[in-house]
Amino acid sequence: MNQLGSTILRFDTVTSTNDIARQMAQRGAEEGLAIIARAQTAGRGSKGRRWASHEGEGIYLSVLLRPPITPSEASLLPLAAAVGVAETLRDFHITADIKWPNDILAGGRKICGILVETAIEGNELQYAILGVGINVRQREFREELRDSATSMLIESNEERSPDEVMPSLLARLDLWYRESLVRPDVILARWEELSSYARNREVTVISVEGQVEGTTRGLTGRGSLMVEVDGETREFFSGEVTLRNRQSVKARS
């Protein structure tokens, strides 16, 4: 099993680092291959949302994974990545929070997005592409994002380059990826430690089943979110979670 980032391909501009990583995976590239770009013209986040990827302002990274797990077990991969990113940001004195399942916030605003895309044949997971986008050097955002997005520079008031952050990021991602394969309970526990959303938060959840309001009750062993709704605990495998009544949120240590 190769260390993540054991081989790195760097590009000035790509459509999406996930696109390049997928092409390399289909050609038989080994696990650990990392694709890094200075800019993306069609960067994307979860649910097909566009991820702003201006040149030199952020980390635009995709890593090829070939884990020996079933497709259903792949749900832990984005949680492991979220833990790795949150700890990386804390290495740089930024108190990061995780909003289920894998949005990384700082000061209540989004600083990182994570996208895991899988290739499945029958009941076998062929590979997974882990995409990570971190806002590093942005001083401001376009109007529609000013209240919801932030960057490492804004949060720490320290000027850093994506290349300075990358070694720590790859090491943390590698650590927690390997942990997810052998001790998933440790991943879940650490995720809950780092997330102020994990338990006892009044939230609204929008999923394929509609919109509900309830109180978070932690994660299941599969990484889905438990929410108490009208006295009944429901399990959500995907969805959009927001805090109700603009509650103040303090990330845990």
**What is the reported pTM?**
0.91
Q: Which residue from 175, 179, 219 is spatially nearest to 199, judged by alpha carbons?
A: 219
Which pLDDT value is given to residue 46? Answer: 55
Give per-residue pLDDT as tens, 170-203.
999 999 999 999 999 999 999 999 999 999 999 9
Handedness of CA 104, 109, 111, 117 (dihedral sign): positive
Q: Where are the domains of the chain?
A: 7-194, 199-246
- Helix 76-91 and helix 162-182, axial crossing angle in degrees, nearest 10: 140
CB 14 within 8 A of CB 37: yes
Which pLDDT value is given to residue 176? Answer: 98
d(CA 77, CA 129): 10
Give per-residue pLDDT as tens, 85-117.
999 999 999 999 999 988 999 999 999 999 999
Structure tokens, 178 = 């390997």
Which pLDDT value is given to residue 101? Answer: 86
DSSP-derived secondary structure for 9-47: EEEEEES-HHHHHHHHHHTTPPTTEEEEEEEESS-B-GG
Which residue's structure tokens are 């649910």?
A: 47
Give per-residue pLDDT as tens, 125-155.
999 999 999 999 999 888 778 788 999 999 9
Which pLDDT value is given to residue 50? Answer: 59
What is the percent of the chain where pLDDT is above 90? 79
CB 2 within 8 A of CB 32: yes
Q: Torsion angle of alpha carbons 111, 76, 182, 123, nearest 10°?
A: -140
Contacts of 43 (CB under 8 A, 6+ apart): 16, 17, 50, 51, 52, 53, 60, 133
Fold of 7-194: BirA Bifunctional Protein; domain 2 (3.30.930)
For residue 208, with 0-12 CB atoms within 10 Å meaning exposed, 13-18 middle and 19 or more buried, which class applies? exposed
Longest dimension (CA), the chain: 53
User: Which comes out higher in pLDDT, residue 14 or 245?
Assistant: 14
Cα angle 196-220-127, degrees, rounded to a multiple of 5: 100
pLDDT tops 50 at residue 250:
no
Q: Rounded to whole angstroms, what are the CA distances from 141 to 1, 137, 170?
A: 39, 11, 26
Which pLDDT value is given to residue 42? Answer: 77
Which pLDDT value is given to residue 202? Answer: 96
Structure tokens, 163 = 């290349």
Q: Which residue from 81, 59, 49, 242 is spatially nearest to 145, judged by alpha carbons?
A: 49
Handedness of CA 155, 156, 160, 164 (dihedral sign): negative
CATH number of the 199-246 domain: 2.30.30.100
Contacts of 146 (CB under 8 A, 6+ apart): 140
